[in-house]
Amino acid sequence: MSPRRPIAPALTARFTLASDRDRRRTLRALADGLAELESRADDPTVQVLGVQPVIQLVRAASYGAWNAQRERAWRGEQWTTAGWPTKLDDSELAALLLPISAGRVGAAVGTHPVCVAEPIFSKGRPGAGGQDAIVLGLLTNWCRNAAPGVTALLAPPVVERIGQRGVLDRRVEDFDLTWRLPVADGI
């Protein structure tokens, strides 16, 4: 999945869910993205991936160590943190959407799971809508920007808050939408 044509603004731009109307608009864009991904799965020329989106949220105090761990985990793979900032402002939050193989979250606890499609990183200041706006925006962008010849059937996203010692908490966020795949065991 490649962020070629963003539907929702990038997190480095001004992304807020300042009103119920903004949230409904973004949820509609996400639902449309999920429907588009699913409809592409019927095309026999398209590679279909079963994806469990994991969205990691990291505050400035934990960012440096997390960034270094992510770079080490991706060594030898096609992904890199080279374009990421070296540090965040105190008020900023980093967000990373990791598209991992569906059913893998429980087995991947405490490790760095392998991505089956392009991850998306961004950073920003949680404004109106807070972390929910960041998660919703990042997921919407990823779903609405499928690479040619590839599609994904998704499980509801897992949101992880990351601290200096790893995952602080983990939750499933389904946004009251219908997801094609079940969430992984062990969540």
Question: Is beta strand 120-124 parallel, antiparallel or unpaired with respect to 150-154?
Answer: unpaired
User: SS3 sequence, 92-161?
Assistant: CEEEEEEEEECCCHHHHCCCCCCECCCCEEEEECCCCCHHHHHHHHHHHHHHCCCCCCEEEEECCCEEEE
Whole-number pLDDT of residue 56: 94
Q: What is the pTM of this model?
A: 0.86
Whole-number pLDDT of residue 154: 96
Confidence of residue 44 (pLDDT cuts 50, 70, 90): very high
For 94, list phi and psi in degrees, rounded to 5.
Answer: -95, 145
Element (H, E) at 22: helix 20-40
Query: What is the average per-residue pLDDT within 143-150?
Result: 88
Task: Please give the mean pLDDT across all residues of the chain.
Answer: 84
**Alpha-carbon distance 97 to 76, whole Å?**
20
Whole-number pLDDT of residue 55: 94
Asked whether the beta carbons of 54 and 157 are under 8 A apart, the reply is: yes
Confidence of residue 21 (pLDDT cuts 50, 70, 90): confident
> Taking 80 as the threshold, does the pLDDT of residue 168 lie above it?
yes
